[in-house]
Amino acid sequence: QVQLVESGGGLVQPGGSLRLSCAASGSIFSINNMGWYRQVVGKERELIAEVTALGITNYADSVKGRFTISRDNANNTIYLEMNSLKLEDTARYYCNAHVVLLDVYYAMDFWGKGTLVTVFS
């Protein structure tokens, strides 16, 4: 009953920029933390950036200073502004949200299907 849809991925040259979006919809009462993860084939998914409901952010060291996460609570949406992209940023980027569900006293994580970011000359 909850869906996360990522968008904004694509091909970008090294040093370029890209903005990802993730919109959550469905039986949502509220959302606590939301974050961006990335994964390449054969490796474990890793946390890239996270933002709390109050707007507190944290970043992986590999992207600190280059990526910026933000959220729009009114629209249940988060963004990832990626700058100074490197070849090693190539991955599928996934949106994650810790959602409090409507009509139940229960919260759980939801994942989007991901959007591919390819950094290549």
Burial class (CB in 10 A: 0-12, 13-18, 19+), 118: middle
Instruction: With a cut of 90, say whether residue 105 has pLDDT above it.
Output: no
Average pLDDT value for residue range 71-81 = 95
The strand pair at 28-39 and 91-101 is best described as: antiparallel
Contact of 24 with 1, CB cutoff 8 Å: no
What mean pLDDT, rounded, does the chain reach? 96
Q: How far apart are CA 119 and CA 5, in angstroms?
A: 21
Helix ranges (DSSP H) in the chain: none
Average pLDDT over residues 6-11: 98
- pLDDT confidence tier of residue 1, bands split at 50, 70 and 90: confident
pLDDT digit string, tens, across residues 49-75: 999 999 999 999 999 999 999 999 999
Give the percent of the chain with pLDDT over 70. 100
